Structure 1
Amino acid sequence: MPLSTPALEKALQTHGLVNPKRRMSARHEGGILSLAALLAATVFYLDTFTDIHSALATLYVITVLLSAETLTEKGTLFLSVICGSLAIFSYLTAHGLQADLAAALRLTVALAALAITCALVIRNQRARLHLLRFNADLRSSEERYRTLFEQGRVALWERDYSDVRKMLMRLRADGIQDLRAYAREHPAFIETCIARVPTIAANAAALDLLGNVDPKVRAGDVRAIRRYIAQDDATFLELLVAIFEERRHFEGRGTVITADGTSKLVLLTVGFPQDAADFNRVVVGMFDITERETAQKALFDAQAELALASRAATIGALSASLAHELNQPLGAVVVNAQTLQRWLDRDPPDLAAVSRSAERIVRDSQRASDIIQSTRSMLGNRPPAFELVSLPDLVLETRTLLESELLRARAVLDVEVKEGTPVVRAVRIELQQVLINLITNALHAMAVTPEAERRIGVTIEATDAAGAVVRIRDTGPGLSPEVFKNLFKPFCTTKETGLGIGLAICRSMLEARGGTLTASNHPDGGALFDMTIPIEADHD
């Protein structure tokens, strides 16, 4: 007598044989289990207690098939084992241990049919479970996508590019290789493509980007969104080129028009699917970069204004530099002209002295001209005139030029040339400008020094690094820590009438040719400046 339906179901559930993920009602499931149990009992009775000589045991397969939707994999296997045991029990009851080939074959066929059916049912159950899990994952993925799409704060659009892609692929199949050239030859091409790209969906952030849009759009009629998208021909053409070339990603700048007519600049990002069938829903991301672009424009404008101010400052510094550098030769011209005037006023005029003064005027005027020419070459980016320079001769010449300043300051300039001093290749006028600046500064620094102690020592010697060094030492008070810290900075000076750019210019001149200018205090007192000059100047 078979078990009642509730008792049978309870027993199977207790052993984990009933599928908990069944999709049918409990009543329907109980009916199936009862029918399967009744069928198994009927087959067992007929096979055991009747004289029907046929493979009745194969009907147990129907029992397994009926229960397949209800039982788990373990339950199906258990039911198959029960049915197989019943078939064997029936055989033993009817035939005992006597050999009956026909009955044995019928039993074998029945057991084989049960085993095959059990295997097929279990495989089908596994496939069904895999499919259910796959569908569940797919639904979960779709829900996550919709959540991200709808609730994300990035403006997202779903657009259908399938029709446009087919058209572009036909063009490529027809031999079109340059889509940009094709678009230039067919002015209506861009507008035709735009009309073939409908908007499927837009999230809340995309609608917020557009402002107070048409109620139809808010209600979900995304077709009405077309008028808010200002399709820039160049940007849209580049997007078409990306599809034409079968790229996987496109990024560019586009424009959208808000509900109040304001244009917003957006960064457009599109990821194209690998499967052509998925071009019917392509996600387009938009990032509002209007404020960023405005800020960048303001930055560029500020940089342009700064460049103008920098050029103005450069011109001012250059003017100050020229004034500083020309002050000495022009002052010498004035002094020599006054001297010449005094020699002419004598009775009789001292023509020999007049001639010497005139020569000095020509010499100093030429120096002023050379300074201006050197500055013009620097501004015009023209190569300077390099020449072989003997540093001892240059120092002695400079001392002659500054003779009147030395006499006026009641100072002595001593020159010491060490053995092995090389000849350097340099711009002569630049080295002389540096020397004049350093010696003039030394004279100003010794203004508070007793007259008997006012000495400037110039030492010339070779260096270990294929060059020469000229050291200028004075007997002034030396450099204070405050002055030393800003010594080579432009417009830093301790003189009431000084511009403060002489040392900055000197260092720049030397460094431009591969040399250096350093300052320190001499152990025995006074300031010490070292001019290092390479033998081969930098010709760049």
Structure 2
Amino acid sequence: MVAGAGAFLRGQGSLQHDLVIGLIALILLLTVFYVDAFTKIEGAIAVLYVIALLLLSEVVTRRALMAMAILCAALAIFAFLFSHGIDPGIQPTLRLTVSLAALAITTALLLRNDTFRSELLASNAALRESEGRYRSIFDNTKVALWEHDYSRVRSHLMELKLQGVTDLRVHVRSNPGAATQCMDMISTVAANEAAYELLGPHAGDGGPGTLRRYVASDDETFIDLMQAILDGAEHFEGKGTVTTDGGEKRLVLLSIGLPDDASTFNRVVVGMIDITQREMTQKALNEAQAELTRAARAATVGALSASLAHELNQPLGAIGVNAQTLLRWLDRDPPDLAAVRKSAERIIRDGQRASDIIQNTRSMLTQNTNESEWIDLYALIDETTRLMEHDLQRDAVVVDIHRNTRIPSVKTVRIELQQVLINLMTNAVQAMSSVDAAPRTIVIDVAPRTDEIVSIVVRDNGPGIAADARDKVFAPFYTTKASGMGMGLSICRSTLEARGGKLEGYNHPEGGAVFEITLPLEDLHE
């Protein structure tokens, strides 16, 4: 209410001022007309109408001013004719011309001045509106904003640049007090509410050197900011550490727009986002990931040990059986040296297989590429069947290899594919050992699936895959055998997938389990 009364009084005062000015201008106008028309004073009296126009220009509109100018010109002409008649002479006519010219020029200048004043008022109004919007955004945004005066430090940095300083880090190392000197040249202009919440109640305190309360002079981010100013950068972003009024360390993300105009470095806005919690969370995540990596390594070692135990079990078991057979042939009288030699050759062969398995595992660990070779699949299957001869004879298992199609060679690692076949055949033998089906048969069928893929199907006539095991049969450490480790099928699948192949398992409609290997056929001419 008081403010309204004040505005009313100011309005009343302005109206009274305008009335007084108007009255004075009117009196002056009438006085000039009287002197010009009714006295014998020789001179360009009508020029004095200009004073009345100057007074009226402050209180009337553009149209009213033009009307008054026309009125003044009309009064001057009337006074001229009234005083000098229709034949005034040269001197009075020149005086009238000068007076009218003065009125016209003055009116034009006053109208131009009014235009400029209107534009200036509009510009000032727009500037105030823009400043109001900026101040509203500055004060109300949730991002901490700090206004600093960088004008002095920029001038100092430009002087250093003229002296040949280009790398501020080198300069600071050579001059230990240089960073502190730069910081003392920076003063705080203002801070918004979010900055007070982040830094404390003194965040907006001005004066040189106040920045040192919050930022260490040897802070790497501060030096990077000074380097950005030295280089004439348009923007700077970085992570820095600030100390609050309460002594608490906060990690903040800084974003600063650096002006193009050197004269505007007196108000540079620094945006700050508190990322302390985020960084702590990221640190905890990194530590958890490191712990997970260590656990994964331990699990890998365990899986590798289980894998080696599973893969070496067959050749080492074969070596033991062949060694016992060799001793039996030696115990005969006379010893059967031909049979002994055959058993010894089998021991050597199985020992080499065990060595190949270890070498292949070592290559995978060291990420060395095992050498691929062109392999005749039928020849590899025949060789694998011979390696499995003892197990097959022991359980009375017959292997039926379908050779009804000519299959091109495939390029892969021999020992890996052979181990997959041995695992699948061993699983088939063990599965059929629990049933009385006769004959126990493993059917191996090799056929092209497409022009780019060949499949090897290993089928038995055992009980098949149990319903509750179908989704887990390839999972590591899953097994249905009392003494099994559950690594065989998992290793087979991962081995094939590493070479671009696949391994699928399902039950045959007529009974028994089917495991199908698919391998890519490479260009034979590559």
Matched, 1:405 2:405: no
Aligned to 1:527: 513
Aligned counterpart for 2:157 among listed residues 168, 172, 189: 168
Secondary structure, aligned partner of 1:476? coil
The answer to whether residue 104 in structure 2 is matched with residue 115 in structure 1 is yes
Q: Is the 8 A contact 2:244 2:250 kept in 1?
A: yes
2:256 is aligned with 1:267: no
The question of whether the paired residues in 1 share the 8 Å contact of 2:187 and 2:206 is answered with: no
Partner of 1:206: 195
- 2:347 aligns with 361
Give the aligned partner of residue 12 of structure 1.
Answer: none
Please tell me whether the aligned partners of residues 187 and 207 of structure 2 are also in contact (alpha carbons under 8 angstroms): no
Q: Which residue of 1 aligns with 2:5?
A: none
What is the total number of aligned residue pairs between the two structures?
Answer: 515
How far apart are residue 255 of structure 1 and its match? 2.0
Which residue among 23, 27, 32 is the counterpart of 1:43? 32
Q: Which moved more, 1:85-94 or 1:23-32?
A: 85-94
| Kept in 1: contact 2:147–2:268 (CA 8 A) | yes
Residue aligning to 1:499: 485
Comparing 396-405 and 80-89, the one that deviates more = 80-89
Correspondence for 1:314: 300
More displaced stretch, 123-132 vs 103-112: 103-112
Mapped to 2, the partners of 1:189 and 1:135 lie a distance apart of 42
The alpha carbon displacement at 1:305 in A equals 0.4
Alignment of 1:470 with 2:459, yes or no, is no
SS of the residue 1:495 aligns to:
coil
For residues 98 and 431 of structure 1, the distance between their equivalents in structure 2, rounded to whole angstroms, comes to 131
Contact 1:340 1:354 survives alignment (8 Å): yes
Q: What residue identity is the alignment partner of 1:195?
A: D
Q: Does 1:26 align with 2:12?
A: no
- TM-superposed deviation, 1:32: 1.1
State the match for 1:8 in structure 2.
none
Counterpart of 2:501 in structure 1 is: 515
Instruction: Give the Cα–Cα distance (whole angstroms) in 2 for the partners of residues 97 and 479 of structure 1.
Output: 133
Per the alignment, do residues 250 and 450 of structure 1 end up closer, same or farther by CA in structure 2, a change over 3 Å counting? Answer: same
Superposed counterparts of 1:150-299, under 5 Å: 150-211=139-200, 226-299=212-285
Deviation of 1:308 after TM superposition, in Å, equals 0.5
- Offset of 1:74 from its aligned partner? 2.6
Q: Secondary structure at the match of 2:483?
A: coil
CA contact (8 A) 1:461 1:469 kept: yes
Q: Given residue 192 of structure 1, which amino acid in structure 2 is its aligned partner?
A: Q
Matched residues in 1 for 2:425 and 2:216: separation?
Answer: 71
Pair 351,78 (structure 1): closer, same or farther in 2 beyond 3 Å: same
CA displacement, residues 392-439 of structure 1 (integer Å, 9 cap, x when unaligned) = 111011111112222333322111224432223321111100111112
Which residue pairs with 2:52 in the alignment? 63
Shift of 1:316: 1.2
User: TM-score, length-normalised on structure 1?
Assistant: 0.84
Instruction: For residues 449-508 of structure 1, give each alpha carbon's deviation from its aligned partner in whole angstroms, at most 9, with x where no partner exists.
Output: 542253221122345434543222223344456433334332333333333332221122
**More divergent stretch after superposition (161-170 vs 518-527):** 518-527
- In structure 2, what residue type is equivalent to 1:388? W
**Most deviating of 377-386 and 292-301:** 377-386
Secondary structure at the residue paired with 1:250? strand
Contact 1:44/1:90 (8 A) holds in 2: yes
Q: Answer with 67-76 or 83-92: which moved more.
A: 83-92
Alpha-carbon distance between aligned partners in 2 of 1:386 and 1:445, rounded to the nearest angstrom: 32
Larger deviation, residues 315-324 vs 181-190: 181-190
CA separation of 1:223 and 1:208: change in aligned 2, threshold 3 A? farther
Residue among 101, 119, 123 paired with 1:134? 123
SS of 1:368's equivalent in the other structure is helix
C-alpha distance in 1, partners of 2:179/2:488?
A: 65
Question: Alpha-carbon deviation of 1:149?
Answer: 4.2
Whole-Å Cα distance in 2 between the matches of residues 120 and 304 of structure 1? 81
SS in structure 1 at match of 2:265: helix
Q: How far apart are the structure 2 equivalents of 1:490 and 1:191?
A: 62
1:488 paired residue number: 474
Residues 1:443 and 2:429 aligned together:
yes
Distance in 2 (CA, whole Å) between partners of 1:106 and 1:529 is 123
2:363 counterpart residue number: 377
Tell me if structure 2 keeps the 8 A contact 1:419–1:461.
yes
Change (3 A) 1:385 1:26: closer
Equivalent position of 1:9 in the other structure: none
* Distance verdict in 2 for CA 1:480–1:78, change over 3 Å: farther
Which segments of 5 or more consecutive residues in structure 2 lack a partner in the other structure?
Answer: 1-9
In structure 1, give the amino acid aligned to 2:347: I
Asked whether the 8 Å contact 1:235–1:254 carries over to 2, the reply is yes
Cα deviation for residue 211 of structure 1 reads 4.5
Shift of 1:351: 3.6
Q: Following the alignment from structure 1 to structure 2, what is the Cα–Cα distance between the partners of residues 424 and 147?
A: 74
The CA deviation string for residues 47-94 of structure 1, in whole angstroms up to 9 with x for no partner, is 555566654444332221110111122322232233334445556667
| Identical-pair percentage | 52
Aligned-partner Cα distance in 1 for 2:280–2:130:
39
2:366 partner amino acid: G
In structure 2, C-alpha distance between the alignment counterparts of 1:442 and 1:353, rounded to whole Å: 29
| Letter paired with 1:493 | T
Q: Aligned in 2, Cα 1:86/1:453: closer, same or farther, shift over 3 Å?
A: farther
| Cα distance in 2, alignment partners of residues 486 and 189 from structure 1 | 68
Alpha-carbon distance between aligned partners in 2 of 1:169 and 1:437, rounded to the nearest angstrom: 76
CA distance in 2, matches of 1:335, 1:327: 12
Asked if structure 1 preserves the Cα contact closer than 8 Å seen for 2:461 and 2:511, the reply is yes
Identify if the C-alpha distance between structure 1 residues 412 and 147 changes in structure 2 by more than 3 Å, giving closer, same or farther. same
Contact 2:190 2:204 in 1 (8 A): no
Determine the C-alpha separation between the residues in 2 that align with 1:219 and 1:169.
Answer: 27
Cα 1:458/1:68, change in 2 over 3 Å: same
Q: CA deviation at 1:512?
A: 1.8
Is residue 474–residue 493 contact of structure 2 (8 Å, CA) maintained in 1? yes
Quick one: which of 297, 305, 313 aligns to 2:291?
A: 305
- Contact kept, 8 Å, 2:165 with 2:171, in 1: the verdict is yes
Residue 238 of structure 2 aligns to a residue whose secondary structure is strand
Q: Is the 8 A contact 1:411 1:451 kept in 2?
A: no
TM superposition shift of 1:384: 1.3
Worse-superposed segment, 313-322 or 527-536: 527-536
